[in-house]
């Protein structure tokens, strides 16, 4: 058992759209990431995702609407729901999702990270 300091871990991240693992429990990963700009449209057929905004503001685009998540707020995106994260300015997020989750879901491309670093 150990204590994880989120702010210290975030200082180790300087790139965007490249989640790092900071914890694991019950086959779930706790990840930190910095996001900026536009991600890709994608969905996860078998996994739900939790996005908790630590710093900044994150827009989640859905096919029929846009939801804005502010600091201290989170949203859970159910499996199978197509979405596209977007951040006008850099945002720091904590992600909680099954260890099998690939960040780009069903849309493999340049932003796909299938092997994540532990920090």
What sign for the dihedral angle of Cα 19, 83, 106, 108? negative
Ordered by start, the domain boundaries in the chain are 6-98
State how far the Cα of 33 lies from the Cα of 17, in Å rounded to an integer: 7
Q: Which of 84, 91, 89 is nearest to 13 (CA)?
A: 91
**Residue 83's beta-bridge partner residues?**
42
**pLDDT tens by residue, 59-89:** 999 999 999 999 999 999 999 999 999 999 9
> Minimum mean pLDDT among 8-12, 68-72, 112-116: which range?
112-116
State how far the Cα of 15 lies from the Cα of 68, in Å rounded to an integer: 22
Tell me which residue has tokens 């990431």. Answer: 33
Class of domain 6-98: mainly beta
Q: What is the pTM of this model?
A: 0.91
pLDDT-derived band at 15 (thresholds 50, 70, 90) equals very high
Q: What is the pLDDT of residue 64?
A: 97
């Amino acid at each position: 058992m150990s204590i994880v300091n989120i702010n210290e871990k975030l200082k180790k991240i300087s790139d965007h759209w490249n989640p790092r693992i900071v914890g694991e429990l019950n086959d779930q990963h706790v990840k930190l990431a910095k996001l900026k700009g536009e991600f890709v449209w994608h969905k996860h057929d078998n996994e739900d995702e939790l996005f908790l905004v630590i710093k900044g503001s994150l827009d989640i685009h859905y096919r029929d609407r846009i939801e804005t998540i502010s600091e201290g707020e989170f949203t859970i995106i159910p499996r199978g729901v197509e979405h596209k994260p977007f951040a006008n300015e850099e945002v720091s997020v904590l992600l909680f999702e099954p260890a099998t989750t690939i960040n780009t879901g069903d849309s493999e491309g340049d932003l796909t990270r299938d092997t994540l670093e532990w920090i």
